[in-house]
Amino acid sequence: MTTNEVRSERAPISRGAGIIFHILPTDQLMFFLRDDKPGLSCRNMIDIIGGHIEDGETPEAAALREVGEELFERTTHAPFNPGKIRHFSTFVDERPGEHNIYVCELNSVPDIYTIEGQGLVFLSREQAMTTEFAFGYNDVVRQYLAAH
């Protein structure tokens, strides 16, 4: 397991958690395309599925909660349960904002949809290596790909 722990001397002003989904048989990564609404940060960019950590919530619980709020089974419309996730990286950016990144390796392409952003995006390994991700997630995505 790779862990990229970079700390700032200032306490984080925000804390978030997200999941990189890796679909093993197709070697694709699943993300979502952010909205293109005025005033939204990182408009129209590809992003890791996740969000803010609520008070008293662990990063893992936050990542799973966010997935359940944003992704739904296409046939039942039930919240998507990705199953097992594992911690990959925690880093603090220049704002400072703490980012807790998990990985979920799936054995098939899930039949799901999102109510977040403009829709789901499936990238090949090569596409993910050259994509400009929201919130500077380029390095963590590339670190994951280099390790897998």
What is the reported pLDDT for 56?
A: 94
The full set of domains in the chain, from first to last, is 5-147 (3.90.79.10)
Q: In terms of DSSP H, where are the helices of the chain?
A: 59-70, 125-130, 138-147
Residue 10, pLDDT > 90, answer no
Task: Give tens-digit pLDDT for 66-116.
Answer: 999 999 999 999 999 999 999 999 988 777 888 999 999 999 999 999 999
What is the reported pLDDT for 65?
A: 97
What's the number of CA atoms in the CB half-sphere (13 Å) around residue 103? 21
- d(Cα 81, Cα 147) in Å, to the nearest integer? 25
Nearest to 135 by CA among 11, 14, 4: 14
- d(Cα 89, Cα 141) in Å, to the nearest integer? 10
- d(Cα 81, Cα 126) in Å, to the nearest integer? 27
Collapsing DSSP to helix, strand or coil, 52 comes out as: strand
With bands split at pLDDT 50, 70 and 90, how would you rate the model's confidence at 11? low
Residue corresponding to tokens 């991700």: 133
